[in-house]
Amino acid sequence: SPSSPSSSSSSSSSSPSSSSSSSSSSSSSSSSSSSARSAVVVVIVGMAGSGKTTFVAGLQRHLREVCGKRVYTVNLDPAVVSLGYEPNIDIRDTVDYKKVMQHYRLGPNGAILTSLNLFATKFGDVLQLLEQRRATHDVILVDTPGQIEVFTWSASGTIILESLSASLPTCVCYVLDTPRCSRPVTLMSNMLYACSVLYKAKLPFLGCFNKVDVANHRLCQEWMVNYDAFQVRRPATHRSPILTHSLQHISDTDT
């Protein structure tokens, strides 16, 4: 089950002889801690089809109903048809994905990247809205499109992540499709993308195995930390395992 950001609170005890001074000190400490509290931004990224939008809907519901958190959601996928949650900010209200395709004569992927680039030029307005919610909400969830290149080499991804992290505590959650990652080559491909986003964003990073009700994620976790276990399962009848072997060794060394 997804974990929720924890908020710490400090309490101080004082002797009865200094009740008045301790009371004022406690109230000032409480007001300063409440003013210093800020919503945490969680940017959900991952490959197309990994289940990011469903993950965001489930995480939002879990944080609200189980953890009692105040959640604010942002959708940055201009091509999504339906969402399992009600976004507070939706890129589709600003950028018309189909019109971008027609106007710039682009294909689906190119139109999504261009839509993000256009939206990034006005991201300052979005940031102002988020800063106004920093004291009234606990978590800000940002749903993103499956075009992972937005956050590996596109300028829009850099603008969005740098703007968020400069104003609010921000982390990146990389969603992995567990059934697909049961193949060693697919897992290493995901790890390569994850490392690319990690080193480019330079933000706290969390990997999350999704769809664990369909396939168990324990084996994938073992492959990530156990070099020998990965070597046993990787196929040896194709050239690609040679590259996979090198990538897994590098990933294991960095870890």
With H, G, I as helix, E, B as strand and everything else as coil, classify residue 45.
strand
Query: Edge to edge, what strands does the sheet with 205-210 contain?
Result: 89-90, 71-75, 139-143, 40-46, 170-177, 205-210
Q: Using alpha carbons, list the distances in angstroms from residue 122 to 45, 114, 225.
A: 21, 13, 41
3-class secondary structure, 154:
coil
Alpha helices in 90-154 (DSSP H): 97-104, 108-120, 123-132
Predicted TM-score (pTM) of this structure:
0.77
Smallest CA-to-CA distance from 96 within 84, 104, 88 is with 104
Quick: pLDDT tens for 17-51.
333 344 444 444 443 444 467 899 999 999 998 99
Pick 30 or 115 by higher pLDDT.
115
Q: At what angle do helices 155-167 and 184-201 cross, to 10 degrees?
A: 60
Q: Which residues contact 134 (CB under 8 A, 6 or more apart)?
A: 38, 39, 168
Average pLDDT of the chain, as a whole number: 81
Q: Which residues contact 147 (CB under 8 A, 6 or more apart)?
A: 48, 109, 112, 113
pLDDT for residue 124 is more than 50: yes
Residues 68-110 have pLDDT tens digits of 999 999 999 999 988 989 999 999 999 999 999 999 999 999 9
Structural domains of the chain, with CATH: 39-217 (3.40.50.300)
**Which amino acid belongs to residue 53?**
T
Dump pLDDT digits (tens) for 152-211.
Answer: 888 999 999 999 999 999 999 999 999 988 888 888 888 889 999 999 999 999 999 999
| Integer Rg of the chain from CA | 22
pLDDT confidence tier of residue 220, bands split at 50, 70 and 90: confident
